Chains A and B, each alone.
Chain A
């Protein structure tokens, strides 16, 4: 079956702009995760959804970052007033339940100029 998909694959924006990154999880997976990966580092956790609600948002760096999952499937990560330091690969993963194996998408490469 289809894996986790993320769109766009690449996004270039200017400092101060607003961006939205989309994640389509594997069908039937109730848990969804967002991670951020800077160059040369391992992925860092941002937020975890169980169904429609954010069960753990402790990794969001500040209030410019927000994520939603209104129908318990697709999720959107929203970044306001982007800064150059937000440039990274944003990864999405999903799993059947919270503690199960996570399956990752290919990521969205965000570049803030």
Chain B
């Protein structure tokens, strides 16, 4: 079974609008962490936001927020006020356990922001 599932291969959004990128995960470990990374066309991996399994509140970092629904095992990324520079691949990833060194990545969603 896939540990991290991103069901949207590609998404379009109009500049200045909000967009939600879906991520569902599968783990039996009660302690885990969820990450979102951005990969622009230049190829580097840029950390965006983190959510711990015991965090009570949804994580936010500037225009990025994480809609964490633990019972549904979903960790959707919300980007508000989209900008042209947000066009990129976005990857959801999970760390199982408090002290694991491995990240498990989803297959990614390609976001294109239209002017």
Q: Are A and B genuine complex partners? A: no
